[in-house]
Homo-oligomer: A and B are copies of this chain.
Amino acid sequence: MGLGTGYEQQECFLARSLEVVGERWTLLILRDCFYGVRHFGDLLAHLDISRGVLTDRLDTLVTASVLERRPAGRGVEYLLTDAGRALWPIIHGLSKWGETYLAGDHPPRVFSHAQCGSDTDAAGRCPTCGLIPDVADLVVRPADGHHAARRDDPVAQSLRNPHRMLTPLP
């Protein structure tokens, strides 16, 4: 990348991270992977992006070992690696920041600790157990409230019911 578009002159690991996860749509693709979406077609249906952009982003994430691409049935599936899972606090934190400081015409998603059923707080902490559960121990559900413009793709429909994070969507 040429000067002015790349971050390589920035001597900074934030810049290095943004080279991998800072492109448009990338964190939303990873959000879906945390929800349990594993297939190209499901990502395509749930995100309003072109095949070309989705392919490019997935290639970047696989090259950086954030996602693993592996055979599944007649196709392939994408799974978060340890490096990918380590991004959960970033994705959760940015979502909670938006809830706190920005307006939205939809209810937020709520995360609960699977072991005890308590909803976690804005910092991701379970108030009953006093710890920050691993993302694999969270159940996600939409809060009550009105959606101004609700999506109707299969992933969006599945996510209307409580769902254990990182497990495949029904």
The residues of A with any CB-CB pair to B shorter than 8 Å are 3-7, 9-18, 20-24, 27-28, 31, 47-50, 64-66, 83, 86-87, 89-91, 93-104, 106, 108-109, 147, 149-151, 156
Contact = CB atoms under 8 A, between A and B. Distances in A.
B4 A48 contact: yes
Q: How many copies does the complex hold?
A: 2
Contacts of A9: 48, 149, 151
25 contacts: A7-B28, A9-B151, A10-B28, A11-B147, A12-B31, A12-B106, A12-B109, A13-B95, A13-B96, A13-B104, A14-B28, A14-B94, A14-B98, A15-B98, A16-B98, A17-B97, A17-B98, A18-B28, A22-B22, A23-B24, A65-B101, A83-B100, A86-B101, A87-B97, A90-B94
